[in-house]
Amino acid sequence: MRHLILSLLVFVFCLPAHAHGPTPQKAKQSVTIKAPVAEVWQIVKQFDAIAAWQPDLKHSTGNGLNQSGGTRTLTFQNDQTLVEELDYYNEQEHEYSYRLKTENPQAFPTSSHSIELKVDAGETPGTSVVTLKSRFYRGDTGNTPPADLSDEAAVKAMNAFFSHALEGLKNKAER
């Protein structure tokens, strides 16, 4: 009887080791732009105007607030939408951070994400470095997500979104 109880206890305590849910993923990308910080900030500072420089989006709309609580709705090229909300906005430091407010895995394969955007002076006078960094979870938080909502799909999508955004911003700022 004692061996049975001991075996059951070992079994029960080992169960959590076999369960594995989602783990947070991260992405970070930067680009150097041949334009001063003030010019680059002028392009990115309007939170709800991201579609002007992010080619993955058809359009973006929002409540016009560049402060905590400001929101924007992103419409992707496939006509799917998601909503993001500003958590922090600092005009003097040329940075803001925001998070996913309303998820839509058909638009973007994350169940939650937070993103920071920062514009710093580059090493060369008249240049800027724009950095995007994110922490996020895959689109399906179950133990066996489908391939299109997996960690790999979320990492790939976030990196592509960052790459396209930074390339679009660089093209717009250097015109």
What residue segments make up the domains of the chain, in order of their start?
A: 23-173
- pLDDT of 129-175, one tens digit each? 999 999 999 999 999 999 999 999 999 999 999 999 999 999 999 99
- pLDDT of 1-52, one tens digit each? 665 555 544 554 554 444 567 899 999 999 999 999 999 999 999 999 999 9
Superfamily of 23-173 according to CATH: START domain (3.30.530.20)
CA atoms within 13 A on the CB side of 3: 0
C-alpha closest to that of 113 among 158, 163, 148: 158
The residue type at 30: S
> In 4-34, which positions are buried (b, 16+ CB within 10 angstroms) versus exposed (e)?
eeeeeeeeeeeeeeeeeebeebebebebebe
Assessment of whether the complete model's pTM goes beyond 0.85? yes
